Chains A and B, each alone.
Chain A
Amino acid sequence: AAGVIQSPRHLIKEKRETATLKCYPIPRHDTVYWYQQGPGQDPQFLISFYEKMQSDKGSIPDRFSAQQFSDYHSELNMSSLELGDSALYFCASSLGGQGLYEQYFGPGTRLTVT
């Protein structure tokens, strides 16, 4: 079965650079969630989209922005990168509406900021 695809899987950037992370949800899934997992930490919710509209927002820095496109894939744009942004970034997808369906996670993108 098709799973959530994230690219790139690994990314190394320097401080103050920008990064773009991509997420391709499971076919027919219309909802995408982004989570950030710092080293040894639990995943923290960043932002979510349903039918191409932002549906919820968590502890996402103002330096980050995200969107969901017409084909339901999503991109997380990160600017002015800081050392503390080094983390594993997960995307999850689900079928939206009434929360009846669970979230399926991608393998994550490991971002290292040097």
Chain B
Amino acid sequence: GNSVTQMEGPVTLSEEAFLTINCTYTATGYPSLFWYVQYPGEGLQLLLKATKADDKGSNKGFEATYRKETTSFHLEKGSVQVSDSAVYFCALRWEWGGGSNYKLTFGKGTLLTVNP
């Protein structure tokens, strides 16, 4: 079946450090890939997405490139801020069979803490 594997956290960085959170996936066909962010006590917010190989999603300084050859979608940010502290979830959506069977499959999540 489809699955997403994220690097285990927690990740603790100092402000302005470089961030990488690894994400790899297993799926047949060509899934769409997403990064969601969950701030403490809040719901999930879409951070960025990519729908086909070599697409780069970007938002708020975060980037991730859909690499089909390595089945990866690593999240990166050049300079993190304290306000980036949150849990980050990598997810895939596997489209099949038409209709609206487009559920998301999530990774386990990575807790990021950024210290001043």
Contacts and interface: CB of A to CB of B under 8 A. Distances in A.
Contact of B108 (A42, A55, A96): A42
A48 B89 CA distance: 20
Interface string A45-67: 10010100001101000000000
Interface of A: 31, 33, 35, 41-45, 48, 50, 55-56, 58, 90, 92, 94, 96-99, 102-108
Contact of A48 (B43, B44, B49, B103): B103
Nearest to A45: B103
A55 B101 contact: yes
B104 A50 contact: no
Contact of A43 (B42, B49, B89, B99): B89
Interface size class on chain B is: 20 to 34
B106 interface: yes
Interface of B: 32, 34, 36, 42-46, 49, 89, 93, 95, 98-109
B99 to A, nearest CB: 6
B103 A97 contact: no
Contact of B100 (A43, A45, A56, A90): A56
A63 to B, nearest CB: 20
Contact of B43 (A45, A58, A98, A108): A108
Given A99-B32, A102-B49, A105-B44, 17 more contacts: A31-B102, A42-B106, A42-B107, A42-B109, A43-B89, A43-B106, A45-B104, A45-B105, A56-B100, A56-B101, A90-B43, A90-B44, A94-B102, A99-B102, A102-B34, A104-B46, A105-B36
